């Protein structure tokens, strides 16, 4: 891997030595994420320090903002880093300072029982254990971020791909594609994706890449449905105008879909997935549910329909990132249209305000420190 020359910045070390701090977006309390200053972290043997060049805000960050997903007050948020290697821990090999890299939102260790068993997202055997950045350790809505278990998680960016091109890899592309993969989509399948927010749109792209030949997508926002069609949907359904369950059953001659992907996390979308799913089909669930989730027993054939319900967090690790960047490098998909807005890190509070309120047709925001 060759060293990538980058525009001159004072190094993290120089800034630390000069007693300087860095800007970070911190969860203060429910309802408030604020820009603050923190010391620039120092690397342990298995870490890498990245200078963040681009990052973004995730729907999960909004759950954190609203206090719906609890994190420790004072935590730096953000889990979608694009950056440049500033410092490498003593045990990390094969990388160079200055290399452009991404890391997944999920940063598995690769060496615990769960990881060695292929369940990297649940690292350490704990539910969501692989999700550390912006959850259990400081995240990347910051000038610098420490990547844990860097050996397993730093993925070099091909030279000809820009930051914005790969910005979706760490989370929404991996999650959305994961939904298609967990659905075990086969060539010739009919698929539906309920909700066409950023993750649902990526699920649509993933379903097409995996061989689905008829893709229904469902949302209420015309611009999202239009983006959905642009990214691969064959039939878009606005649930404010049409009953999507009836429409899909009719369009499939009563057969239903082979795979139904849930990309929102609500009772109605989950339930609709089951109602359009053929016996023997797979409900691939990506949503984060809250409150109560009930299985409609009629659609579920009382448990006798040979249905499978698969949930997927967000596959991480550098091999996953490499594969996703392959998709972009080969131009099999182009996710740049998802970046609808751009903000400076200094203005991240405004970015949160825009994103949390879904104003101005926002899909994803590129944030640059």
d(CA 93, CA 310): 36
Rule CB under 8 A: choose which of 7, 19, 31, 303 binds a copy of itself. 303
Which residue of 95, 161, 234, 247 would you call a contact of a copy of itself, by CB under 8 A? 234
Tokens of 163: 């930051």
Phi-psi category of 305—alpha, beta or left, where left has phi over 0 and alpha has psi -120 to 50? alpha
Tokens of 337: 């249209």
Interface with a copy of itself, residue 79, by CB under 8 A:
no
CB nearer to a copy of itself: pick between 10 and 67? 67
Helix (H, G, I), strand (E, B) or coil at 146: strand
Per-residue interface string for the shown chain with a copy of itself, residues 274-293, x marking contact by CB under 8 A: ----xxx----xxxxxxxxx
For residue 144, the minimal CB distance to a copy of itself (Å) is 22
Give the interface segment with a copy of itself, choosing from 74-82, 140-148, 310-318, 347-355 (CB under 8 A).
310-318
When asked if residue 171 is in the footprint of a copy of itself (CB under 8 A), the reply is no
- Residues 183-202 within binding reach of a copy of itself (CB under 8 A): 186-190
Q: What is the 3-state secondary structure (H, E, C) of 303-327?
A: HCCCCEEEECCCCCCHHHHHHHHHH
Nearer to a copy of itself, 79 or 318 (CB): 318
Contact region with a copy of itself (CB under 8 A), list: 28-36, 50-58, 106-114, 222-230: 106-114
Using the minimum distance from each CB to a copy of itself, give the nearer residue, 250 or 346. 250
Q: How far apart are CA 320 and CA 5, in angstroms?
A: 25
Q: Does 300 bind a copy of itself (CB under 8 A)?
A: yes
Question: Kindly report the CA angle at 330 between 325 and 331, in degrees rounded to 5?
Answer: 95
Identify the residue among 3, 29, 113, 342 touching a copy of itself (CB under 8 A). 113
Q: Do the beta carbons of residue 58 and residue 33 sit within 8 Å? A: no
Min. distance of Cβ 190 from a copy of itself in angstroms? Answer: 8
Instruction: Please tell me the distance from the alpha carbon of residue 109 to that of residue 18, in angstroms, as a whole number.
Output: 33
* Residue 59 binds a copy of itself, judged by CB under 8 A: no
Q: Is position 3 an interface residue for a copy of itself (rule: CB under 8 A)?
A: no
In the bound state with a copy of itself, the residue whose beta carbon lies nearer, of 22 and 112, is: 112
Smallest gap from Cβ 281 to a copy of itself, in A, equals 9
74 binds a copy of itself (CB under 8 A): no
CB atoms within 10 A of CB 267: 13
Output the DSSP codes for 196-263: -SHHHHHHHHHHHHTT-SEEEEEES-HHHHHHHHHHT-SEEEETTTS-HHHHHHHHTTT--EEEEEE-
Using CB under 8 A as the binding criterion, the count of chain residues that bind a copy of itself stands at: 84
């Amino acid at each position: 891997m060759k060293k990538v020359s980058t525009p001159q910045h004072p190094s993290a070390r120089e800034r630390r030595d000069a007693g300087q701090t860095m800007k970070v977006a911190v969860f203060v309390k429910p309802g408030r994420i604020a820009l603050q200053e923190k010391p620039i972290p120092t690397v342990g043997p298995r870490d890498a320090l990245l200078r963040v060049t681009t990052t973004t805000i995730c729907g999960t960050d909004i759950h954190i903002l609203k206090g719906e997903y609890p994190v420790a007050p004072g935590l730096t948020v953000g889990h979608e880093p694009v950056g440049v290697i500033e410092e490498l821990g003593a045990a990390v090999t094969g990388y160079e300072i200055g290399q452009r890299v991404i890391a997944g939102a999920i940063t598995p260790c690769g060496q615990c029982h769960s990881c060695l068993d292929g369940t990297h997202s649940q690292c350490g055997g704990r539910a969501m254990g692989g999700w550390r950045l912006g959850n259990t350790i400081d995240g990347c809505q910051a000038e610098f971020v420490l990547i844990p278990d860097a050996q397993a998680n730093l993925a070099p960016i091909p030279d000809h791909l820009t930051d914005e091109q790969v910005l979706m890899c760490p989370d929404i592309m991996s999650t959305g594609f994961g939904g298609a993969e967990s659905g075990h989509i086969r060539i010739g399948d009919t698929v539906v994706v309920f909700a066409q927010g950023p993750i649902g749109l990526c699920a649509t792209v993933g379903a097409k890449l995996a061989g689905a030949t008829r893709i229904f997508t469902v949302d209420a926002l015309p611009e999202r449905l239009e983006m959905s069609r642009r990214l691969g949907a064959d039939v878009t359904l606005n649930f404010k105008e049409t009953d999507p369950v009836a429409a899909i059953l009719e369009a499939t001659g009563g057969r239903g879909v082979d795979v139904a992907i849930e990309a929102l996390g609500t009772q109605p979308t989950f339930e609709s997935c089951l109602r359009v799913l053929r016996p023997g089909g797979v409900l691939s669930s990506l949503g984060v549910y809250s409150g109560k989730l009930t299985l409609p027993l009629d659609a579920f054939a009382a448990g006798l329909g040979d249905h499978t319900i698969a949930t997927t967090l967000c596959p991480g690790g550098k091999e996953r990132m490499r594969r996703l960047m392959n998709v972009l490098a080969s131009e099999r998909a182009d996710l740049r249209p998802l970046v609808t807005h751009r903000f400076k890190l200094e203005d991240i509070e405004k970015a949160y305000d825009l994103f949390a309120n879904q104003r101005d047709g926002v899909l994803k925001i590129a944030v640059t420190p």
